[in-house]
Structure 1
Amino acid sequence: MNYLPNVLFAIVLVIGIGYFAKNVKKLIRNIKLGQAVNVSDNKSQRWKNMTMIALGQSKMVRRPIAGFLHIVVYVGFIIINIEVLEIIIDGLFGTHRIGLKVLPVSVYGFLIGAFEILAVLVFISVIIFWIRRNTIKLARFWKNEMTSWPKNDGNYILYFEMVLMALFLIMNATDVSFQELNSGNIVSQFIAPWFGGLSETTLNIIERAAWWLHIIGILIFLNYLYFSKHLHILLAFPNTYYGKLKPQGQFNNLEAVTKEVQLMMDPDADPYAVPEDDTETPAKFGASDVQDLNWVQLLNAYTCTECGRCTSECPANQTGKKLSPRKIMMDTRDRLEEVGKNIDANKGEFKDDGKQLLNNYITTEELWACTSCNACVEACPVSIDPLSIILDMRRYLVMEQSAAPTELNTMMTNIENNGAPWPYNQMDRLNWKNQ
């Protein structure tokens, strides 16, 4: 018996899974560069969110057409790849359609038949997605931040999915023994005549070629995910689990600042007293680079699907402002990747490169254009929170650099001097209503 194909398959499988594992390890390392944050509360609600949003696609269907097509591709692609288990067993042990040996023909035929129907539905859905993106040219796919790579990345994935679905159907159509069963070949029976007149040997070569290309294509797709926006296929689940549970308008307060204000407001407090707890003043207020953000925000950046729903809902963007919530997430991910490569190049330590997320990637004009309305957070189908990053970077500008816009500085000065945002003396408080 010739074991060479089995050995080659094992080598390909180990290389594919090994490279994927290496990138996953790097991904986790990069996310852990973020600051610690406690997200261990309300586990039942978190599980519910993950089930409804990531698994159930509840926020995707708010736009019915795109939502339905996405569910078809999502469900179809996942279910069809159950057959990968059979392919792996066949590849390692030299069997052929091992499923027929462990399942009744009727059951096996039902499964493969369902896979074939889903493959056609996925193929059609992907074509519609391609038309929406490249022919109709929906505005959210053609914003300024959608440069060559982000734009092409979306198309590459669509091509990948079309090719993989086609290879699956061709593999079944040219499998003579499978076609003779006349069970499960619901779609492939109509493709088989395309190869009519070819010898059984030729059909076997085509079937084997489609089989090899299908599994190699899946392994390439798996490893492509790390470099693609489609990493959300894997990260949507933890991202929705760790998503924000607080009301959308509720800001997070720095504990050190809160305690300082409480101390100032307490007339009986001793300003020279040593605090009873060990709360430390943060090394930096707010965030100017990715290491200043918390790890959930960095997970958000890697999970971003670049769908543009956030930007299309953003009132600032709609009125021509430079702000795009999608760009905020893309910039955060790009900077995080840059920091990760810096660490790799310097034997596990970050070497100051003179760059940071603020100014080098995200401008102050973008940050102050935000109205804090939470439209982007509400629109995101996988619970990403661009606003939290914007607010943390604003906090840095105000508290570390005193670089708030003139209007805000005036307002804060008035609050300090007059106890209100308006430039009127407190003695005239009763007259404010007439101003």
Structure 2
Amino acid sequence: MNYIDNILFAILLCVGIGYFAMNVKKLIRNIKLGKDVNRKDNPSARWKNMAMIALGQSKMVKRPIAGFLHIIVYAGFIIINIEVLEIIIDGLFGTHRVFSFLGGFYDFLIGSFEVLALLVLVAVIIFWARRNAIKLKRFWNSEMKGWPKSDGNIILYFEMVLMTLFLVMNATDVHFQANHSGNVISQFIAPLFSNFSVESLHVIERTAWWLHITGILVFLNYLYFSKHLHILLAFPNTYFADLNPKGELDNLESVTNEVKLMMDPNVDPFAAPANPDAVPGKFGASDVQDLNWVQLLNAYTCTECGRCTSSCPANQTGKKLSPRKIMMDTRDRLEEVGKNIDANKGIFVDDNKSLLNDYITTEELWACTSCNACVEECPVNISPLSIIIDMRRYLVMEQSAAPMSLNAMMSNIENNGAPWQYNQQDRLNWKDEN
């Protein structure tokens, strides 16, 4: 490889990594638009969650077929990309298989990479068939049309091409094949190129090499625009996940403070506020800025796998609610807000839109039974329920827009001290019925 190739490779590497870094900075900015929440407690439990769920894939294998195939692809992604380090060194310094000095260990590594590449290729083809030929129901919900549907297939094609290029690169490397070591899969592909001259094989090998590393950099930058951002965000998402028991809802600090003031006999109810110019806090959430940063991290981490929606009892009975759509809508609105900020020099300009109504309808929110099935099923500990609850709180406390049945229940609690429409004096009449 001459110096021009080294320079071109360095430029390609800098552009690819630079664009990725720019998008990561934007991603962090968008997540920080959320309200602060403390998730630094119990670090040992958080590290365990991350190790078991993000690294160990413990929740993926609850559905054995998809779980096993996903582990193959995941292992392939992690292990095969160790080889990327060698490609980068070769590209920058003009060497060829620089780690070959490791001898037998190198042959073992490359052989393992080839086996994994073949397994990943098979797994991805099966994933494609499940999505497009068998047409599993959870991949064909209404929210999975347009870009989400295309995105799911594009990433599969990406992986097919990258694995094929890796195997072709090895199969056409004359010196590598001549050693008959480490070429456990590519040796069966090499005969396809037996009629080519050494010069032609070199051209094919170099072309596959360049396309492979270029594809990896394109794939890296595609992640920001894809549901496969979870490849990176699954780790922080599982670390910062809520450790409280499922079903335990957090209390709004603003409401808690109001109750404490009401119960404090030393507080003057007619006293002027300490800061009359302060904007009162909003109860609940109507837009992404009202959610906390962990909920926004959840939105970006969503894999769109549909396990949450397929286990949702409301969705199973024909209700409009889809927990997956809740997360996708939150992410789409957050991206819209981020682009608004970019277009207005770092300041958000009111666009007369919000997450509530423009993206998520009240019908969806009130269809939720709060059963936590979606939270339990998510393979990366996302909580659509927390967003639903916060938006319900806004509807109830800011807009008094609860369903009639819920308003009746709250009126009964206020007037009768119980959810039922009975006078307090009649509450024990049931004991006389027999």
Q: TM-score, normalised by structure 2?
A: 0.96
Deviation at 1:265, TM superposition (A): 5.0
C-alpha distance in structure 1 between counterparts of 2:131 and 2:317, whole Å: 23
Equivalent in 183, 196, 199 of residue 198 of structure 1: 196
Equivalent in 330, 348, 353 of residue 346 of structure 2: 348
- CA offsets 1:213-239 (integer angstroms, 9 cap, x no match): 000000000000000000000000000
Letter in 2 for 1:82: I
Aligned to 2:117: 119
Equivalent in 323, 326, 336 of residue 338 of structure 1: 336
2:7·2:92 contact (CA, 8 Å) conserved in 1?
Answer: yes
Aligned to 1:235: 233
Letter in 1 for 2:53: I
Deviation at 1:347, TM superposition (A): 0.4
Aligned to 2:32: 32
1:49·1:240 contact (CA, 8 Å) conserved in 2?
Answer: yes
C-alpha distance in structure 2 between counterparts of 1:271 and 1:420, whole Å: 30
Deviation at 1:423, TM superposition (A): 1.6
Q: Which runs of 4+ in 1 moved over 3 A?
A: 262-266, 268-275, 432-435
C-alpha distance in structure 1 between counterparts of 2:74 and 2:207, whole Å: 26
Letter in 1 for 2:26: K
Provide the aligned length of Structure 1 versus Structure 2: 430
Letter in 1 for 2:212: H
Aligned to 1:59: 59
Aligned to 1:6: 6
Letter in 2 for 1:47: W
Residue segments in structure 1 that go unaligned for 5+ positions in a row: none
Aligned to 1:44: 44
Aligned to 1:249: 247
- CA offsets 1:170-206 (integer angstroms, 9 cap, x no match): 0000000111111100011111000001100000000
Deviation at 1:41, TM superposition (A): 0.4
Percent sequence identity over matched residues? 76
C-alpha distance in structure 1 between counterparts of 2:124 and 2:432, whole Å: 61
Letter in 1 for 2:424: Q
Aligned to 2:308: 310
Letter in 2 for 1:19: Y
Deviation at 1:407, TM superposition (A): 0.7
2:254·2:281 contact (CA, 8 Å) conserved in 1?
Answer: no
- CA offsets 1:340-382 (integer angstroms, 9 cap, x no match): 0000000000000000000000000000000000000000000
C-alpha distance in structure 2 between counterparts of 1:32 and 1:274, whole Å: 35
C-alpha distance in structure 1 between counterparts of 2:64 and 2:280, whole Å: 45
Aligned to 1:162: 160
2:330·2:355 contact (CA, 8 Å) conserved in 1?
Answer: yes
Aligned to 1:78: 78
- CA offsets 1:369-398 (integer angstroms, 9 cap, x no match): 000000000000000000000000000000
C-alpha distance in structure 2 between counterparts of 1:226 and 1:361, whole Å: 21
CA RMSD of aligned residues (A): 1.8
1:256·1:282 contact (CA, 8 Å) conserved in 2?
Answer: no
Aligned to 1:138: 136
Deviation at 1:312, TM superposition (A): 0.2
- CA offsets 1:48-85 (integer angstroms, 9 cap, x no match): 00000000000000000100000000001210110000
C-alpha distance in structure 2 between counterparts of 1:81 and 1:363, whole Å: 42
Equivalent in 202, 212, 215 of residue 213 of structure 2: 215
Deviation at 1:406, TM superposition (A): 0.6
Deviation at 1:310, TM superposition (A): 0.1
1:321 aligns with 2:319: yes
Aligned to 2:126: 128
1:256·1:281 contact (CA, 8 Å) conserved in 2?
Answer: no
C-alpha distance in structure 2 between counterparts of 1:259 and 1:16, whole Å: 49
- CA offsets 1:247-293 (integer angstroms, 9 cap, x no match): 11111101231233345456x55454989x99x99610000000000
C-alpha distance in structure 1 between counterparts of 2:271 and 2:115, whole Å: 71
Q: TM-score, normalised by structure 1?
A: 0.96
Letter in 1 for 2:34: G
C-alpha distance in structure 2 between counterparts of 1:173 and 1:8, whole Å: 25
C-alpha distance in structure 1 between counterparts of 2:340 and 2:374, whole Å: 31
Aligned to 1:96: 96
1:185 aligns with 2:173: no
**Shift in alpha-carbon separation, 1:242–1:226, aligned structure 2, 3 A:** same
2:312·2:374 contact (CA, 8 Å) conserved in 1?
Answer: yes
Equivalent in 382, 399, 405 of residue 397 of structure 2: 399
